Each structure stands twice: as structure tokens, then as C-alpha cells.
Structure 1
Amino acid sequence: MVAQWENFLQNLGEWHGSFTQLSTRGEVIKDTPSIISLEGLNDNKTVRLKLRRFSPNPSGVGEPEVSELVREYQSLGRDILFFENGNFCQGTIQLAPYSESGAEFGFIYNYRRLRFVQLYNIDGNLSKLTLIREKQQDKNIPERPPLTVDALLGEWQGEAVTMYPDYRHPDSYSTNLQLHLQNGDRLVQKITFGNNANVISSSGSIDGSAINFNEGSTPVQVLLLPDGGSCTCPVKVEFRKPIFFEAGWLVEPDLRFRMIRSYNDKGEWVSLTLVTERKISH
């Protein structure tokens, strides 16, 4: 737990950005400017979170309306895990019928953060997507371009770290991801991980900024987002089926992070994996 708190502290600072509400197809609906500060108090034993969001004045004139949220933390919940670089994921611990579920992913790199929230309603359908792009104001680091299929094509060599909700020792292993086009409108992927013992192959149809993988027992939709972001969303959260939520961030043309939050067939959250992968061929 001490290490978890130290990892959390990687996120300290004042982050200027926006909360972007997306449709379930990934189209921008509304963008709300925001400032979030994470301040260490009492020799960093307490962290104060202050979030301000600035909505347009309903009258159309005058200052924006400000909503403010303030919280203090001295410990972390059992629904969240942080990696050494400050990346994190918080979400549902136990999936259950007729209950809402979802996850928030947070990436941090080069004085910028990208966070992504995917929420499902009580019927198991995707109901809300929010993309949060943030930067430290005094560092003029530009936003990444919107993610494209072309930017993903090629072979990616990665290192994965899998953490567990019971805080047992993390597992580390190598990964390989190969992505290529088939007939111009299908994306074919082959993922190899863990001493080449496990291979997953699948293909998805490309529909604008969405890629639909409908072949498996749990169909998923991958959305390509602004700032090099992506998310992988189950089309439906079904009970008694293992599922995963995933988000990704292309931070350099040849460097990408992916985070996967996995659940077993009992709906229990079982692991969180961070993959750091570099493109080795186009």
C-alpha cells in the first residue's frame, strides 16, 4: 500500500484541460474546460483534490458557471491501482446483474495526462463516454493528433506489468502485437504474450473512427479518439462471461500505452495490466 500511495503522488500538480462527452460511437457531444489540482499536504500524507469545471453561462453572456468539487485523501480505495509511472485505473470491483458498471483509466506522460471514463447502465449497455485531456499549464507540450488506423499499423514489441487487487507481487512479461489491413476495410491483429505461449488473433471491420470486432463470444468496439487516445468497449456487459475494459494512448509515433482491466466469469475484478509497447516495424 505504501508503494501505491507513492505511485499516486506521481499525479500531483495543477492540470488544465477539458472533459469531453462523447457519443457511444466516439463523436464529440460537448466539451467542458476544467482545472484539477492535486496538492500534497502534511508531508504528502494527505492529498487534496480540487476540481473546477467551467460551463457556458445559460444566458449566453457573462462569466461561465463554475462547479467545484473538493476531496481529501489519506488512503486509497480497493477499486483503484496505480503503476510506478503514475498511470492508474479505478472502476467496478464486482459486476452484477441490474447494476451500473464501468472504469476510469488515467495515463501520465511528459507533463500531460489522458483520462478516459466508460460507463454502462443497469441493462449492460454502454451509456456514457468521457475523454479528459489535461496538461501542466507551465509546460507547453502540444496535444497529440487524433488516433488513426494508419498510426497503429505495424509490429509493436511491448513489456506488460499485471497487478492484482489483493496486492500480491505483480507479473511482468513480454508482448508482441501485429496489426495489418485486409482488403482495405478490415483490421487484423495478432497478439502474443507470456513466453509465446498465448496467441490471440482477431479481425474487425473499420467504420470511420470505430473498429468493430464481432467474431468472439464478447463483441467489442474500439474507438479512435483525439489526442492519440483509444478505448476498447464491450458492446454489452453480460453476466457470467469474462470481459475486459481497455484504453490506450499513443504518446509518440512509436510509443504507446495500453491498460486492460479484466473480470472473470463471476464478474470479479481480477487484474489490471499496463502494456508499454514500441513500434519496431511498419
Structure 2
Amino acid sequence: MLSNSGDPQEQNWQNFCANHLRDWYGIWTRYSAQGEVIESFQSLRSLKLNQEQTGIDQTNRYTYADGRIEEKNWQSTKQSKNLSDGIVHPKTSLMRSLYFEQGAAAWVTNQLKLGDFFHSGELFFRYENLRHSVGAVYDESGGLLRITSIREDSLNFPSKYWSKQLELLPKRNISGKWQGISVTMTSDLKVSLPVPIKQRSFCEENETFFLPDGIFLNCPKKVNIGNHFTIIANWLITSSHLQQLILKYNLKGEFSTLTLEIFNRSE
């Protein structure tokens, strides 16, 4: 199912617990705004319900190319972190996490503030035991600084699914007839009824990065208050199945909507 039901705040928390509480073994790869590989390293993101079942214990462990290991730990209680506009990020009160029943999700920044680095969001795809997230970071002037791709597997490391490819790929051809279903979540966590669609979204004015393993990110080269902007991520899971997430910010630089679209190729 794609749409939530009942209380949006409670449903958001339940969607998070149902789809993301496990050990995620991954590879992070960061790219410059020009698409060059900056760094790549191993990760483990472990999310578990605490003993009291009142919140989440999270451990992130990063293993870098030089052998250095870094570990970070957070606790997020349901009472203090599960709000009407999403779950508060364990590191910053400026970000919220939103979860669809299907498993797709996003971390979003509530408000763009000029003069500060802007993490536009981390868009999560979920399919069986795999998870992939991608996001963009902008500098103090609103210019694209870097993008990050995180390929994760909850069963194996190294993953049997993800390739070892790091460099960006040439433009992909995914032409053909596609049919899909779309649902949209607003900033108060309300989810629309599913609607049928036949065309994927794309912003011509954005920069498009074609990442390994069927991932591509379409994001602005520059963000500013006074200009609405859209960030789009796609995962071509198989030749006939594609997921798309669309993150929108309004003219005030405020998070507006998150849309999940699931497509199947009809021919």
C-alpha cells in the first residue's frame, strides 16, 4: 500500500519502525558539484527499538579508506522526537524525517537559511532488503557543494546486489511507456490518495547526476529564497520497475511536499 491512514503523526512513526529498524551495511560515496568522486567509505547504520520500547537507539559506524573508524550514537524517544511535522533528526532540530507506508522516506530541512550550509534532504528508497539514499548539500551562498550516494544492504556486506562502481555514468535511456501511482505527503504528514500517472517528473533547469546501480539525482545548481525549487531522485530497480521521489520547497525556502511515485514499464 502507498497511502497512510489514521493519525498522521502516529502513522509516520509506525512506518519508520516497520521499515527501517535494522542493521544497514553500506557504502557512502561523496561527489563534487562537478561529479568527481571526493571520497568513499564503509558504513553501518544500526537502528533498534530500545528496551523500554519508548524510542530508538541509533549507532552509525564509519570505516574510512585509511583504516580509521568513527562511531556516533544517538537516542530518540518517541515522546520528545515524534512531532506533528515529522521525527526530529538526532543531530539537528532543523531537520525532520518523513516515512511512507511503502518504505520510501526522506530527511528534510524545514527552512532554507541564507548564510548557512543547506542540507536539502536525504531521499530514501527501500526495496526488499536494500535501501538507497541520495542527497545534496549547498554552501552559504546557495551554490551546490556536493552530493552523496549511500547504497545499503541489511543482509550482507559487501552486498550481492550493489556494484563496486563509484564514478558517474553517461546519461541513461529509460524511454518507453511507463504507468505508475503517485502519493504526496505535506509538511503536516498528511498523505494524499493514490493517483495514476504516466509520466515521470523532471526539471530541465536542474543538474542531473547519473549514479551507479540505476540511481540518478536531478537537483538545482543553486537554491535561493524567492525561488521555489525541486529535487528529484530515481531508482531504476529493474528494467521494468522504477521508483521516484520528488522533494519540493516553496518561494520562502520552506519544505512543501514529498511525493513518491512507483512506475512499471507497460511495454
Same fold by TM (over 0.5)?
yes
Alignment of 1:161-200 (within 5 A): 161-177=183-199
Shift of 1:26: 2.7
Q: Give aligned pairs, total.
A: 239
Does the C-alpha gap of structure 1 residues 169 and 134 become closer, same or farther in structure 2, counting only changes over 3 Å?
closer
1:34-56 residue CA offsets vs partner (Å, 9 max, x unmatched): 11111122364321111110113
Does the C-alpha gap of structure 1 residues 71 and 255 become closer, same or farther in structure 2, counting only changes over 3 Å?
same
Equivalent-residue separation in structure 1 for 2:214 and 2:145 (angstroms): 23
Structure 2 letter corresponding to 1:166: D
The equivalent position to 2:121 in structure 1, one of 85, 103, 126, is 103
Shift of 1:20: 0.6
Structure 2 letter corresponding to 1:46: G
What percentage of residue pairs aligned between the two structures are identical? 27
Kindly indicate whether the alpha-carbon contact (under 8 Å) linking 1:112 and 1:141 is maintained by their aligned counterparts in 2: no
Alignment of 1:68-107 (within 5 A): 68-74=71-77, 75=82, 76-77=87-88, 79-101=96-118, 102-107=120-125
The answer to whether structure 1 residue 126 and structure 2 residue 129 are counterparts is no
1:181-221 residue CA offsets vs partner (Å, 9 max, x unmatched): xxxxxxxxxx5xxxxxxxx8x7xxxxxxxxxx3xxxxx211
Equivalent-residue separation in structure 2 for 1:222 and 1:246 (angstroms): 9
Structure with bigger strand share is: 1
Structure 2 letter corresponding to 1:73: S
Please name the residue that 2:68 is paired with: 65
Structure 2 letter corresponding to 1:3: Q
Shift of 1:25: 3.0
Shift of 1:262: 0.7
- The structure number with the bigger radius of gyration is 1
Please name the residue that 1:210 is paired with: none
Alignment of 1:1-282 (within 5 A): 1-9=9-17, 10-42=19-51, 44-57=53-66, 64-74=67-77, 75=82, 76-77=87-88, 79-101=96-118, 102-138=120-156, 141-143=160-162, 149-177=171-199, 213=204, 219-281=205-267
With normalisation by structure 2, the TM-score equals 0.82
Structure 1 letter corresponding to 2:162: E
Does the C-alpha gap of structure 1 residues 38 and 242 become closer, same or farther in structure 2, counting only changes over 3 Å?
same
With normalisation by structure 1, the TM-score equals 0.78
Equivalent-residue separation in structure 2 for 1:44 and 1:149 (angstroms): 46
Cα root mean square deviation, aligned: 2.3
Equivalent-residue separation in structure 2 for 1:169 and 1:111 (angstroms): 25
Kindly indicate whether the alpha-carbon contact (under 8 Å) linking 1:26 and 1:224 is maintained by their aligned counterparts in 2: no
Q: Which runs of 5+ in 2 are unaligned?
A: 1-8, 89-94
Q: Which runs of 5+ in 1 are unaligned?
A: 58-63, 179-190, 192-199, 203-212, 214-218
Shift of 1:117: 2.1
1:6-30 residue CA offsets vs partner (Å, 9 max, x unmatched): 1111111111111111121333232
Structure 2 letter corresponding to 1:5: W
Shift of 1:265: 1.4
Structure 1 letter corresponding to 2:213: D
Give the match's secondary structure for 2:49.
strand
